[in-house]
Structure formats: structure tokens, C-alpha cells
């Protein structure tokens, strides 16, 4: 495959930083963005173009930044939507296991991921005829700074009946910080193979949606199995509803 130009959001840590490193190592070009460009300046010395982009800014501000990004290399081949939501050219979106499974006390986070999955699936169906390819990646628990101080925000439950179980959950999150089983390097390598259709993806049909990580495969698989069993058990009742 010829050299690609990537735009990656959320590059100040975690998956975003790893994407930049591996994209450059494969000989592609990358435009790295973050809300605070000072935090990603070191990536410039490694060969990345660096821009400040806050995906919660006004549409005009985002459009101006995308125009600057486009002007750097004259095109954008791949967007890695690693933070918030941006649409520019072709894209690869990071959802989560939480886009399938609503774990306790993660309603807001899971809700955002469920919503992202719906939006991206609609975009996929709307734009595939235009030659745009979409990958919706659903990582399980990977060892990033998501649960670290400064990223994880929690507070005491406002519902007394929840207090004991929510406290257990908060402690579980803190104990699990930087002990997640997934290796971000392995996840990003799979994504790059899928986009470039090489390595582990060579000769395979590229899916729209792909869970990654043993935990994601197990939990999503269990939910799908349960849903299929429900549909089969109730089939004669829930399909007998037409005029």
C-alpha cells in the first residue's frame, strides 16, 4: 500500500500516542492533535505534524483546524477518532466494550459509547457508497491512563442505597489502574494492519465492527448468545404482531 496520511485525535497519552509512534514506524505521515498542543510537541521531533484541536470547540473552529491539517500534506487518508467525534475524510473510530455492555456505575460512559456506535454505523451506511471505509473498534480493558488520577473522576453517591456497592466499584477502578490486561501496542498494531490490509489482516475481509481483547470477545459474545437464545425462545410470540 502507498504512503497514507493519518489524522489522529487525542494524542497526548494512551492509544493516541501509540498510534502516532506506530504510524510513523510504518513509514506513513501523521498529523497528531490534542486539546493542548504543548503536550504533544515531543511528537513533532519524531516526525509528526502537530496541531491543537479540541473536538468540543465550535464547528467553525474545528473546520479551521481541519483546513490547516489538510493543507499540511494536501490530503487526509485516514482519521483515527480517538477522542470525541470529528468527521473528516475516511475514519476509524474507537468505541469500547462499553458500547455493548453497560457495566454498573458506568452509565454515562457506556451511554456515550452506545451513542457513538449508532452514529458511526449510520455514517458507515451513508458513506460507503462514496468509497469511504469505516472501522469501529471495540477494545476491552487496555493498559492506558484512563483510570489514572486526572483522567478518572468519581464522587460519593448521591443515592444512599447505592453507597456500599458504588464504593466497591470505585475501589475496584483504582486498584485496576495500570493493571489492565490489554497491551495498547498490540491493539494499535491490529488497527494499522486492518487499515493497511497487511499483516494479520492480509487476505481477510475487513469488518465494519471488531471487538479486540479477550475480555471484549468473551463479554460481547455472551451478550450476543443470550440475545439469540431470547429471540429463539420468544420467536413465535414476538413475530406474530403484524396485521
What is the total count of domains within the chain? 2
Comparing 222 with 156, the larger pLDDT belongs to 222
HEC-encoded secondary structure of the chain: CCCCEEEECCCCCHHHHHHHHHHHHCCCEEEEEECCHHHHHHHHCCCCEEEECCCCCCHHHHHHHHHHHHHHHCCCCEEEECCCCCCCCCEEEECCHHHCCCCCCCHHHHHHHHHHHHHHHHHHHHHHHHCCCEEEEEECCECCCCCCECCECCCCCCCHHHHHHHHHHHHHHHHCCCCCCECHHHHHHHHHHHHHCCHHHCCCCCCCEEEECHHHHHHHHHHHHHHHHHHHHHHHHHCCCCC
Whether 33 maps to a domain, the answer reads yes
C-beta separation of 84 from 127 below 8 A: no
- Asked if 105 and 200 sit in the same domain, the reply is yes
Q: At residue 163, does pLDDT exceed 70? A: no
Whether 243 maps to a domain, the answer reads no
pTM to 2 decimal places: 0.79
Q: At residue 216, does pLDDT exceed 70? A: yes
Whether 80 maps to a domain, the answer reads yes
What pLDDT score does 155 carry?
58
Q: At residue 86, does pLDDT exceed 70? A: no
Comparing 102 with 16, the larger pLDDT belongs to 16
Find the domain containing 199 and state its range: 5-145+182-238
The pLDDT-based confidence of 116 (bands split at 50, 70, 90) is: confident
Query: Residue 21's closest CA among 187, 166, 156?
Result: 187
- Cα-based torsion angle of the residue sequence 18, 20, 24, 29 in order, rounded to the nearest 10 degrees: 160
The pLDDT-based confidence of 82 (bands split at 50, 70, 90) is: confident
- Asked if 139 and 150 sit in the same domain, the reply is no
Q: At residue 177, does pLDDT exceed 70? A: no
Contacts of 25 (CB under 8 A, 6+ apart): none
- Asked if 154 and 57 sit in the same domain, the reply is no
Query: Residue 96's closest CA among 88, 108, 78, 87?
Result: 108
Which of 179, 202, 230 is at the close of a domain? 179
Rounded CA-CA distance 217/101 in Å is: 11
Q: At residue 6, does pLDDT exceed 80? A: yes
Whether 223 maps to a domain, the answer reads yes
Which of 154, 179, 204 is at the close of a domain? 179
- Asked if 158 and 230 sit in the same domain, the reply is no
What pLDDT score does 97 carry?
61
- Asked if 170 and 198 sit in the same domain, the reply is no
The average pLDDT across 136-148 equals: 73
CATH value at residue 130 = 3.40.50.720
Whether 120 maps to a domain, the answer reads yes
Rounded CA-CA distance 145/236 in Å is: 48
What pLDDT score does 85 carry?
34
- Asked if 219 and 122 sit in the same domain, the reply is yes
- Asked if 174 and 192 sit in the same domain, the reply is no
- Asked if 34 and 93 sit in the same domain, the reply is yes
Mean pLDDT of the chain: 83
Amino acid at each position: 500500500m502507498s504512503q497514507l496520511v493519518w489524522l489522529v485525535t487525542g494524542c497526548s497519552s494512551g492509544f493516541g500516542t501509540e498510534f502516532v509512534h506506530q504510524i510513523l514506524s510504518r513509514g506513513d505521515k501523521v498529523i497528531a492533535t490534542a486539546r493542548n498542543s504543548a503536550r504533544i510537541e515531543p511528537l513533532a521531533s519524531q516526525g509528526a505534524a502537530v496541531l491543537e484541536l479540541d473536538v468540543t470547540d465550535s464547528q467553525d473552529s474545528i473546520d479551521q483546524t481541519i483546513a490547516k491539517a489538510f493543507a499540511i500534506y494536501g490530503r487526509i487518508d485516514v482519521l483515527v477518532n480517538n477522542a470525541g467525534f470529528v468527521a473528516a475524510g475516511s475514519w476509524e473510530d474507537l468505541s469500547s466494550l462499553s458500547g455493548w455492555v453497560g457495566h454498573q456505575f458506568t452509565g454515562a460512559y457506556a451511554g456515550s459509547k452506545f451513542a457513538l456506535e449508532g452514529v458511526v454505523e449510520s455514517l458507515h451506511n451513508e458513506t460507503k457508497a462514496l468509497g469511504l471505509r469505516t472501522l469501529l473498534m471495540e477494545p476491552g480493558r487496555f493498559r492506558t491512563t484512563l483510570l489514572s488520577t486526572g483522567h478518572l473522576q468519581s464522587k460519593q453517591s448521591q443515592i444512599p442505597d447505592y453507597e456500599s456497592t458504588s464504593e466497591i466499584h470505585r475501589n475496584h477502578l483504582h486498584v485496576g489502574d495500570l493493571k489492565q490486561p490489554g497491551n495498547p501496542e498490540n491493539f494499535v498494531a491490529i488497527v494499522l494492519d486492518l487499515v493497511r490490509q497487511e499483516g494479520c489482516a492480509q487476505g481477510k475481509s475487513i469488518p465494519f465492527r471488531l471487538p479486540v481483547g479477550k475480555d471484549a470477545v468473551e463479554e460481547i459474545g455472551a451478550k450476543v448468545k443470550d440475545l439469540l437464545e431470547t429471540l429463539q425462545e420468544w420467536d413465535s410470540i414476538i413475530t406474530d404482531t403484524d396485521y
